[in-house]
Amino acid sequence: MESLKDRVAIVTGASRGIGLGVATELVRLGARVCITARSPEPLAAAVTELGGPDVAIAVPGKSDNADHQAEAIARTIEAFGRLDMLVNNTGINPVYGPITDVDPVAAAKILAVNVLAPLAWTRQARDAWMGAHGGAIVNIASVAGLHPSPGIGMYGISKAALIRLTTELAVELGPGIRVNAVAPAVVKTKFATALYEGREEQVSAAYPLKRLGVPADVAGAVAFLLSDDASWITGQTLVIDGGVTLVNAL
């Protein structure tokens, strides 16, 4: 993926987990990155881990805040001179249980962060750079968006909407901007801890590949979709799941 050298990406929600894994892989391949998250301290530590300000900057803020989106994009272009790639990774899942019991305010917040924020980031990236120069976008969805996901149904609904959003944006923004998604199963991150903590062996037994994912499993696929190696791929959702959806298990 030589084409990623000297390109510039924004990766949202990248102070840890999948987002940091993606940013790490992009830097390894020669790109420069702007990472975002809510808390400044973990972001600063992540920038150091990535190699410092020559290759990474951080802009703290809430992913669904329009001013934060604009600031991150402006600072990225100011620091690195361009914006070729966007990875919409930030996602929330603050509730557990039947969707009929989810507070409407919480449901609206899930949709705002997991669906409307990626749309807003995409719009701002298009207007600031990609519309004139081209680019590639990857949305981080989930296998929960592909089939019923009891207990995390509202999260699954939001990820299903994100997958659908990906296809619509691919049609609207082509040919200059490609838009794809990845749909991971359980990846060992702090965000997903409740899904496997204390029973990882039991959970992973349901996977044909007999292990849970790690951020690097997702990062390589995202880097491929952003690269010129995927130049004839748009509107697709790549399932990264250790085979678990083949056996209809979560």
Catalytic residues: 155
d(CA 108, CA 103): 9
The residues near 93 (Cβ < 8 Å, ≥ 6 apart) are: 110, 152, 154, 155, 191
d(CA 168, CA 176): 14
Strand, helix or coil at 73?
helix
Q: Which of 182, 187, 190 is nearest to 238 (CA)?
A: 182
d(CA 137, CA 208): 30
